[in-house]
Structure 1
């Protein structure tokens, strides 16, 4: 079973997304960048799905950490808003951007996990 790490500092969103994905994937969650780093140093994942804005950093900070640690898996960067600079930064760093409210959110996750 494929393993997904979901990173978001909104407990409600984190719980809802992990609940939906647990039907088809093994899911681990982290409430922020630092917690996600700990998970990534102790477990392997097939895809990382991270919020952009979090209290202790950004999803790009986490993506840079992955590159430094040579963790090479699909990275999905999510945000509640489609700010052009986030979309561009995601592409420049090799991540896939998706809005949290986009009806294709689950499809994007599945495409990158499978």
Structure 2
């Protein structure tokens, strides 16, 4: 789904720049937010087809973002969680959220692009 809109929500500014460049070179439109609050604000204002979400961020972490998302957005976009946090407790919490995929940081660009393409092919909400 080239031309799809991707919202990157991650507090690592350098990583956001690198991911935004990767996605733009692959034909996607990209918006960036550096915490969950800013991500929800940008999503409400600009929309997105897919969110690439970090879990550990200031102000609002990724788990809280996932809980609030369906309350703020009637039909939330697909979400890919990209995180270095790989604990059993975190995996359990993620299993309770509606997400399209989880990728572990550091993620290889080819794997991330394939995961994004696959997630965009899935129906919204599953």
Q: TM-score, normalised by structure 2?
A: 0.82
**Residue 115 (structure 2) pairs with residue 99 (structure 1):** no
The structure richer in strand per residue is: 1
Q: Distance in 1 between matches of 2:89 and 2:16?
A: 24
- 1:32-43 mapped onto 2 (5 Å cutoff): 32-43=35-46
- 1:1-114 mapped onto 2 (5 Å cutoff): 1-23=3-25, 24-69=27-72, 70-95=74-99, 96-103=101-108, 104-114=111-121
Larger deviation: 10-19 or 67-76?
A: 67-76
Q: How many pairs were matched up?
A: 114
> What is the alpha-carbon root mean square deviation over aligned residues?
1.5
SS in 1 for 2:42: helix
2:55·2:85 contact (CA, 8 Å) conserved in 1? no
Larger deviation: 22-31 or 79-88?
A: 79-88
Give the gaps of 5 or more residues in structure 2. 122-126
| Structure 1 moving runs of 4+ over 6 Å | none
Q: Distance in 1 between matches of 2:105 and 2:114?
A: 12
Q: TM-score, normalised by structure 1?
A: 0.89
Give the gaps of 5 or more residues in structure 1. none
SS in 1 for 2:16: helix
